């Protein structure tokens, strides 16, 4: 697994069910809200602070302003908000950044994620995904979607890039 992650140049995440637990609230005025896990957010900040040159992307089938706000807060490089045919966005990204499938990691949890999971070099899912999605993955996180699953993968990516302790120490030094 770490060998596959070592060549990763792009991390693509689904949103609902991966960065959130898949639940959303719609209030009586029609406003939608979602809960994102802080551990995942810090993971994206860590990737940026370590200058590992990992392009971060979110592709979500459900368009939501709250997703846009969170992506902006975390300085996610690319957001495809409300895209059901995710494979089209994937192919566009591959061409834009001149990447091969084996340089891309995708974390997904549902049927609309399968076309990408079947192409990328490092397909990952979460325990709460349907069996057929988990079967298309080379790794299933220990954490559930919305509970730090993305951070688990980010930690593995950082570990694959070299001395994990030195990376952590450099982050701690920057935070002092």
- CATH number at 21 reads 3.40.50.1000
Cα 99 to the center of its chain, rounded Å: 17
**What is the β-pairing status of strands 32-33 and 25-26?**
antiparallel
- pLDDT for 121 beyond 90: yes
Calculate mean pLDDT across residues 39-54: 93
Structural domain total, the chain: 1
Of the candidates 95, 105, 42, 35, which has an alpha carbon nearest to the alpha carbon of residue 69?
35
pLDDT in tens, 130-159: 999 999 999 999 999 999 999 999 999 999
pLDDT in tens, 94-117: 999 999 999 999 999 999 999 999
Residue 16: predicted pLDDT:
96
State whether the Cα torsion 39-40-45-51 is positive or negative: positive
CB atoms within 10 A of CB 94: 17
What token pair was written down for 124?
């990952």
Of the candidates 55, 57, 104, 48, which has an alpha carbon nearest to the alpha carbon of residue 79?
57
CB atoms within 10 A of CB 13: 24
Taking the model in full, what pTM does it have? 0.94
pLDDT in tens, 49-63: 888 899 999 999 999
- pLDDT for 166 beyond 80: no
- Residue 100 domain boundaries: 2-175
């Amino acid at each position: 697994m770490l060998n596959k992650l070592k060549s990763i140049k792009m991390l693509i995440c689904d949103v609902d069910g991966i960065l959130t637990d898949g639940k959303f609230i719609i209030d009586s005025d029609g406003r939608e809200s979602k809960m994102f896990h802080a551990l995942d957010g810090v993971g994206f900040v860590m990737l940026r602070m370590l200058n590992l040159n990992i392009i971060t992307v979110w592709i979500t089938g459900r368009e939501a302003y709250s997703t846009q706000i969170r992506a902006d807060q975390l300085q996610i490089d690319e957001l495809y908000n409300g895209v059901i045919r995710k494979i089209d966005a994937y192919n566009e990204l591959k061409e834009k950044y001149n990447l091969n499938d084996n340089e891309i990691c995708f974390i997904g949890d549902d049927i609309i994620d399968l076309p990408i999971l079947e192409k990328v070099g490092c397909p990952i899912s979460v325990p709460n995904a349907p069996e057929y999605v988990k079967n298309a993955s080379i790794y299933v996180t220990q954490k559930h979607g919305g509970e730090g699953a993305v951070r688990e993968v980010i930690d593995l990516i950082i570990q694959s890039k070299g001395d994990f302790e030195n990376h952590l120490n450099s982050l701690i030094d920057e935070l002092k």
